[in-house]
């Protein structure tokens, strides 16, 4: 359980900043998302170094997506992200590399889209007034509860592997425990808001499923790139991308389920 305690300690240390940014919103949240996104994208490009990503172009696309989401709406977010294409073509034209241009540009755009658009949609979610404030807090607490209880459930009762190829350590027992915890937390966070009980449960279920897929997706990417962790910035618990992987899917899921239920 020492590993669990250290995981929780790291999460608790970062939660005040993350929760505070989500609660305050505005430029505070945008800047926190931008810094975290740039670090996470740097980690991904470092893992994919052999594919020769055009890192400055990727940083530009990520920054454009998050700043667009803060300054405008989904159209601005997409417009900001799309600068990754002309920047990629520009840097590819002057780069001295033997790597395929198609591979380099594809890797660049993939990283910027995965991380940049995922975080930008969290910014969009928060900007949806009071509903957005409730929803982004529900997303954050749900993801944290799902991840923590899935780990505990897997360690204590895990018997059946969930995805042996993508993430051998995850079990169906852990998934069930984490899902129940996550849905329960979402219900509690949204209990005193204008959401109905049924809507809160649906929101929680969608976010839990998206968070799980996001975690598995990152595991698949790391496995493909031959890495266990994306970085060492969090000591024995990997990098920033390892900690926000679930949010990159859960945030957009929270945004769209909120829009669907509105």
Q: What is the pLDDT of the chain when averaged over all its residues? A: 88
Task: Give the per-residue pLDDT at 119.
Answer: 98
Least confident of 18-27, 166-175, 201-210: 166-175
DSSP state of 99: S
Band (pLDDT 50/70/90 cuts) for residue 1 is: very low
More confidently predicted of 1 and 136: 136
Residue 250 CB burial class (10 angstroms; 0-12, 13-18, ≥19):
buried
Distance between CA atoms of residues 138 and 128, nearest Å = 14
pLDDT for residue 85 is more than 90:
yes
pLDDT for residue 188 is more than 90:
yes
Q: Report percent pLDDT > 90 for the chain.
A: 63
Contact 255, 80 (CB under 8 A): no
Task: Give the per-residue pLDDT at 234.
Answer: 60
Terminal CA-to-CA distance of the chain, rounded, Å? 42
């Amino acid at each position: 359980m020492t590993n669990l305690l250290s995981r929780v300690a790291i999460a608790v240390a970062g939660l005040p900043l993350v929760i505070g940014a989500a609660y305050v919103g505005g430029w505070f949240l945008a800047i926190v998302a931008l810094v975290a996104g740039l670090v996470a994208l740097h980690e991904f490009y470092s893992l994919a170094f052999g594919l020769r990503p055009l890192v400055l172009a990727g940083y530009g696309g990520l920054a454009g997506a998050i700043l667009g989401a803060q300054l405008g709406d989904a159209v601005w977010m997409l417009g900001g992200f799309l600068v990754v294409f002309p920047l990629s073509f520009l840097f590819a034209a002057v780069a001295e590399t033997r790597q395929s241009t198609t591979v380099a540009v594809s890797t660049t755009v993939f990283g910027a889209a995965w991380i940049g658009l995922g975080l930008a949609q969290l910014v969009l979610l928060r900007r949806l007034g009071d509903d957005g404030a409730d929803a982004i807090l529900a997303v954050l607490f749900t993801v944290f509860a799902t991840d923590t209880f899935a780990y505990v459930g897997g360690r204590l009762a895990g018997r059946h592997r969930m995805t042996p190829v993508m993430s051998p350590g995850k079990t169906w027992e852990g998934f069930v425990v984490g899902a129940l915890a996550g849905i329960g937390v979402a219900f509690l966070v949204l209990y005193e808001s204008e959401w109905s009980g049924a809507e809160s449960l649906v929101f929680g279920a969608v976010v839990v499923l998206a968070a799980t897929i996001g975690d598995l997706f990152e595991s698949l990417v790391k496995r493909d790139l031959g890495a266990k962790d994306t970085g060492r910035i969090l000591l024995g618990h990997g990098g920033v991308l390892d900690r926000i992987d679930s949010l990159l899917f859960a945030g957009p899921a929270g945004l769209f389920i909120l829009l669907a239920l509105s």
